[in-house]
């Protein structure tokens, strides 16, 4: 791996090539969020008010799922301050966008803006980084899962993508609630309770069969959409001691209409370089980065990234390798021998030093 650089180092070199407007908030992006909100409320009302045929309810469910995922990605952008600068309105709009996923804006800014962005792919400090072999030994449930054959593990982990965001966000609440000042904690609690209270009230009011279509199924779809990105953003990249967004982040490519629906979330390396930037300028950042550091930038179609995730284990070893702890099979990471188009385990002679097979390590 070439020498790691911080995101500030890259940003200082790319920023002079970008227009000033790139760093201005873009309130017109609120229209996108409003469109999602109108469709979502209309869909919920349609299922709630009318007794529609199941097939129509399923169709509305799918549209609602796309809306809940899309408006969540919109909330991500709003809470980075790229749409409006006013803190109060930013939090209110961010809260509405994350209402279906039940994440409060204060928790999100702590977890994502402050911890994930500042400590990306740090072994201990990034709340979204996947476990290392050392950490695995302290997690009995994960250890049990890793005893299953890899194909079954992969099927389970891909299925769990449909609930993983909700699961992970409740873990984040537990992790960070006590790090808020005591005077802020009631607000953080309220931002968790209010969305759940709304969805539970609708369950009681409209009944479980309608709730299933306007909340539960769409929630699974929204989880899958956001996790489809989150799982590919960093998990094929190495763990890094320096927060180098070109080394530890992957940009995926999707059809243009998907980028429009998802507020250019696919440009994740660009987003880590400039979290406060209007995403409209991300293609310009991409061109500049590819011109200045052609060997360091990683991008691939989202489908290729998901296929690579499917074929590799998720436990880090020596920061730059992925290891199957049961068999000791080792794969590279991006920039460290992993070819997403031709996934192959490392041969014994290519493995770094002695690779501890989990069955040996666990006896320590």
Which value, to the nearest 10 degrees, does the dihedral of the CA atoms of residues 199, 200, 206, 212 take? 70
* Minimum CB distance to Zn ion smaller for 8 or for 207: 8
251 lines the binding site for Zn ion (CB under 5 A)? no
Strand ranges for the chain from DSSP E: 251-253, 299-301, 315-317, 321-323, 330-332
Shortest reach from residue 263's CB to Zn ion, in Å: 11
Interface with Zn ion includes 240 (CB under 5 A)? no
User: Rule CB under 5 A: is residue 121 a binding residue for Zn ion?
Assistant: no
Asked if residue 169 binds Zn ion (CB under 5 A), the reply is no
Count of residues interacting with Zn ion (CB under 5 A): 1
Say whether 132 sits in a helix, a strand or coil. Answer: strand
Of 276 and 301, which has the nearer Cβ to Zn ion? 276
**CB 323 within 8 Å of CB 317:** yes
**Which CB sits closer to Zn ion, 43 or 275?**
275
Q: Which two tokens stand for residue 343?
A: 């996934």
Residue 61 or 231 with smaller CB distance to Zn ion: 231
Contacts of the segment 171-176: beta carbons below 8 A, 24+ positions apart = 172/107, 172/111, 172/127, 173/107, 175/111, 175/127, 176/107, 176/110, 176/111, 176/115
The residue written with tokens 């920061």 in the block is 319
Stretch binding Zn ion (CB under 5 A), from 30-38, 129-137, 233-241, 290-298 = 233-241
Shortest CA distance to 264 belongs to which of 306, 234, 231, 302? 302
**In the complex, what is the shortest distance from the CB of residue 294 to Zn ion, in angstroms, rounded to a whole number?**
22
The correct pick among 57, 169, 233, 278 for binding Zn ion (CB under 5 A) is 233
Is residue 237 at the binding interface for Zn ion, with CB under 5 A as the rule? no
Q: How far is the CB of 64 from Zn ion (least distance, A)?
A: 24
Q: Is 333 in the site for Zn ion (CB under 5 A)?
A: no
Specify the residue, 233 or 312, whose C-beta has the smaller distance to Zn ion: 233
- The answer to whether the CB of 52 falls within 8 A of the CB of 222 is no
For Zn ion, the binding residues (CB under 5 A) are 233
């Amino acid at each position: 791996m070439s020498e790691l650089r911080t995101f500030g180092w890259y940003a200082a070199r790319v920023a002079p090539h970008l227009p000033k407007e790139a760093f201005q908030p873009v309130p017109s992006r609120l229209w996108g969020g409003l469109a999602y909100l109108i469709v979502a409320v209309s869909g919920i009302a349609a299922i709630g008010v009318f007794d529609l045929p199941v097939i129509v309810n399923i169709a509305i469910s799918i549209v609602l799922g796309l809306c809940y995922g899309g408006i969540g990605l919109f909330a991500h952008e709003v809470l980075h301050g790229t749409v409006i600068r006013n803190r109060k309105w930013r939090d209110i709009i961010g809260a509405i966008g994350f209402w279906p996923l039940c994440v409060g804006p204060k928790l999100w800014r702590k977890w994502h803006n402050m911890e994930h962005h500042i400590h990306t792919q740090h072994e201990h400090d990034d709340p979204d980084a996947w476990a290392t072999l050392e950490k695995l030994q302290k997690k009995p449930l994960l250890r049990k899962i890793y005893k299953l054959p890899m194909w079954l593990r992969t099927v389970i982990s891909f299925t769990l993508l449909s609930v993983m965001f909700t699961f992970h966000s409740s873990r984040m609440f537990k992790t960070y609630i006590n790090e808020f000042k005591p005077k802020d904690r009631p607000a953080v609690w309220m931002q968790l309770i209010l969305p759940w209270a709304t969805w539970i009230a609708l369950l009681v009011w409209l009944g479980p069969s309608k709730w299933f279509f306007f909340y539960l199924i769409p929630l699974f779809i929204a989880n899958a959409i956001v996790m489809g990105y989150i799982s590919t953003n960093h998990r094929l990249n190495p763990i890094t001691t320096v927060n180098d967004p070109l080394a530890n982040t992957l940009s995926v490519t999707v059809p243009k209409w998907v980028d429009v629906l998802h507020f250019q979330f696919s440009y994740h390396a660009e987003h880590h370089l400039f979290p406060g930037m209007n995403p409209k300028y991300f293609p310009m950042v991409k061109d500049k980065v590819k011109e200045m550091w052609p060997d360091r930038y990683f991008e691939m179609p989202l489908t290729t990234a998901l296929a690579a995730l499917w074929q590799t284990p998720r436990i880090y070893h020596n920061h730059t390798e992925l290891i199957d702890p049961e068999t000791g099979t080792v794969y590279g990471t991006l920039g460290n021998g992993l070819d997403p188009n031709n996934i192959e385990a490392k041969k014994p002679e290519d493995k770094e030093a002695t690779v501890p097979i989990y069955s040996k390590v666990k006896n320590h």
